[in-house]
Amino acid sequence: MSESIRMTDERVSADKKRVINNDRVVDVNQLVPIKYKWAWHYYLDGCANHWMPTEVSMQRDIEQWKDPKGFSPEERHVIKRNFGFFSTAETLVGNNIVLAIYKCVDNPECRQYLLRQAFEEAIHVHAFQYIIESLSMDDGELFNMYREVKAIYNKDEFSMKLTDDILNPNFELVSVQGQQKFIDNLIGYYGVTEGIFFYSGFVILLSFGRQNRLPGACEQIQYILRDESIHMNFGLEMINTIIDENPELWTPRFQESIVSKIRAAVELECIYANDCLPTGILGLNQHLLREYIQYIADRRLERLRLRKIYGSENPFPWMSEIIDLKKEKNFFETRVTEYQTGGALEW
């Protein structure tokens, strides 16, 4: 969506920058002067939280998973379902950034964050590949779940359709309709895929971690959850900024369509949670998961400056504590030491 460079003595001023459609106003290749400081800070936060899956030991997980008495059949079912879901879902998010969002968002500071986020999605894909391989799970079974398990297919189909809409050769970002389609994509990914569809999985898997089960996998899930909360905050802030810059998009009718999509997404996530938890385990059940999904959907609506629709309480306050974990966890202290003694700083 940008034209090639031309010679000019007209310099970029920050106040002329916009999140989308800069090609009509400013050079899209100049990070500085920075207008959207929040985007730059999210980029710095993402870098400060850098981690790699292979730095986390899977030894105890392997011992526990091999032990025939380590997990009940219901527990094995729910663990495999969630690793299966995440193993492809992270790829869909990465694809959407690179193929759809990046071509529409042509502001350089937002793009700087998008490049960071795209790499983090690659790390998340790597994490699930590493977990599945470490535990010698049937990778064919897990990586194909999004085509073979209806509850997973439903969610991924919801997301992938949003990417297809932007890849459609008739898509344009000039008309109000085209821009609304793009907002649909952003809300669908940042608000729903990363903001709702990941959360039953996070609650269920981290419930094992709270009992010291699958500690290596759960440590990685914690880092993913922390990354995802930054992705979502960046995305929702970017959406609100686009709407502020293009207020004609935010019609009452469009707002209603967003609310009904969030409602539909909550139902898909509840179907998924029910499929994962046909019976209650670990103090979790279908009812509590529904409460939680509704609670987080309300939070996403509020961030989009829409009225909440459920009014549910948070049945898992411990999740908020995990999300708030700052990087000063032991893991990062260890890692800094390792880097200093591991030769990485030798020039």
Contact between 300 and Fe ion (CB under 5 A)?
no
Q: 126 — alpha (psi -120 to 50), left (phi > 0) or beta?
A: alpha
| CB-based contact 54:121 (threshold 8 Å) | no
The secondary structure of residue 242, as a DSSP letter, is H
Q: How far is the CB of 231 from Fe ion (least distance, A)?
A: 4
144, amino acid identity = N
Q: Rounded CA gap, 185 and 191, in Å?
A: 10
| CB-based contact 266:289 (threshold 8 Å) | no
Contact between 90 and Fe ion (CB under 5 A)?
yes
- Name the residue nearer to Fe ion (CB basis): 46 or 108: 46
- Name the residue nearer to Fe ion (CB basis): 123 or 183: 123
Query: Which is catalytic among the residues 42, 113, 130, 199?
Result: 130
Total residues belonging to the chain: 347
Q: Rounded CA gap, 130 and 329, in Å?
A: 22
Radius of gyration, alpha carbons of the chain: 21
Q: How far is the CB of 72 from Fe ion (least distance, A)?
A: 29
User: Among all chains, which residue has been given the structure tokens 């966890």?
Assistant: 329
Q: Going residue by residue from 18 to 57, which x/- string records binding to Fe ion, judged by CB under 5 A?
A: ----------------------------------------
- Name the residue nearer to Fe ion (CB basis): 190 or 250: 190
Contact between 156 and Fe ion (CB under 5 A)?
no
Binding-residue total with Fe ion (CB under 5 A): 6
Q: How far is the CB of 39 from Fe ion (least distance, A)?
A: 15
Q: Is 43 a catalytic residue?
A: no
Q: Rounded CA gap, 277 and 149, in Å?
A: 14
For residues 184-213, which are near Fe ion according to CB under 5 A? 194
40, amino acid identity = W
What tokens were used for 343? 């030769």
Q: Going residue by residue from 222 to 261, which x/- string records binding to Fe ion, judged by CB under 5 A?
A: ------x--x------------------------------
Write out the residues near Fe ion by the rule CB under 5 A: 90, 121, 124, 194, 228, 231
Instruction: Catalogue the active-site residues.
Output: 130
